[in-house]
């Protein structure tokens, strides 16, 4: 069916993300590589911190003195932590690798919910489809990810 990918469970755990101390270069490069599937603002945040070495305060200042909601240093830091967790999740890796093999609607739902981090309701609005359809396809993606992680699919 999908082959037998090896999903390293230890690599899926997010290392301690303390931005006050250095972040291993290989882990930072992995995050930057995986960020290519993210929407632009999220990708720029990951690249700014982990590729360019900018601080959260610098990135927040780039949006000006009166940042929009969600662009303060505190909210950017929270967003960065959530993005790193998502980039390191086995589900993200699965969708990034296998979504081209799926039916169009499942691919769009997986991209919106897993890669872009939308809620099911936000994805339904963005894809102009019902919440039921989004939930059904998202549940299928979760089942595939669980089956692959458990070694059920060969």
pLDDT above 70 as % of the chain: 77
What angle separates helix 131-150 from helix 120-127, to the nearest 10 degrees?
A: 120
Region 22-39: mean pLDDT is 84
Higher pLDDT pick, 133 / 68 = 133
pLDDT above 90 covers a percentage of the chain that reads: 38
Any long-range contacts for 26-32 (C-beta under 8 Å, 24+ apart)? Answer: 31/84, 31/87, 31/88
Judged against a pLDDT cut of 50, whether residue 56 lies above it is answered with yes
pLDDT of the residue at 23: 60
pLDDT at 92: 92
Domains of the chain: 9-87 (no CATH), 90-150 (1.10.10)
pLDDT, tens digit, 9 for 90 and up, residues 107-127: 999 999 999 999 999 999 999
Question: How does the average pLDDT of the chain come out, rounded?
Answer: 80
What residues contact residue 107 under an 8 Å CB cut-off, 6+ apart? 99, 100
The predicted model scores a pTM of 0.72
């Amino acid at each position: 069916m999908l082959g037998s990918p090896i999903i390293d469970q230890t690599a899926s755990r997010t290392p301690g993300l303390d931005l006050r101390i250095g972040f291993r270069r290989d882990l930072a490069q992995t995050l930057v590589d995986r960020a290519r599937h993210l929407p632009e603002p999220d990708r720029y945040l990951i690249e700014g911190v982990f590729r360019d070495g900018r601080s959260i305060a610098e990135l927040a200042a780039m949006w000006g003195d009166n940042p929009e909601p969600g662009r303060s240093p505190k909210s950017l830091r929270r967003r960065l932590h959530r993005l790193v967790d998502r980039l390191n999740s086995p589900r993200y890796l699965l969708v990034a690798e296998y979504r081209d093999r799926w039916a169009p609607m499942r691919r769009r739902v997986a991209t919106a919910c897993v890669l872009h981090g939308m809620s099911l309701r936000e994805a339904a609005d963005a894809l102009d489809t019902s919440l039921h359809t989004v939930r059904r396809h998202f549940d299928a993606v979760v089942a595939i990810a669980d089956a692959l992680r458990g070694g059920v699919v060969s």
